[in-house]
Amino acid sequence: MIKPKVTEKNVARAKKGYYTFEVPYYSTYGQVRNEIEELFLVKVKRLWFLSRGGENPSSRQRAKHYRLRSRQVIASLKSGQISVFGAEAEKGGKTKADNVKSKVKEKKK
């Protein structure tokens, strides 16, 4: 449902503790908050939604290009870090996948 938006600007924001994601246009505050917390094992402090309306094609252009409605979320965290953004990779932020891998290793022992 959500995907991190990794750009130079957003990596700089991540160093300050603000993480940017692309989400479906009709997603709600609660849905986004729960998904971030479950997927990255962090606690969300605050969310900001940025909405972009869609655009119809220009009549002057030969090829018709549409821009769909989209929505971005900027998340501030109470606790934890998200390692998807390159800035936090060295600090050792954990994801749900990391926890699953460690549980599988423990079961094999």
Give whole-number Cα distances, 28 to 2, 55, 77, 79, 80, in Å.
12, 23, 18, 22, 22
For residue range 13-68, what is the model confidence (pLDDT) as tens digits? 888 889 999 998 899 999 999 999 998 889 999 999 988 877 776 666 666 667 77
pTM over 0.95? The answer is: no
For residue range 66-106, what is the model confidence (pLDDT) as tens digits? 777 788 999 999 887 787 766 444 444 555 556 655 655 66
Q: What is the CATH number of domain 3-56+64-108?
A: 3.30.70.330
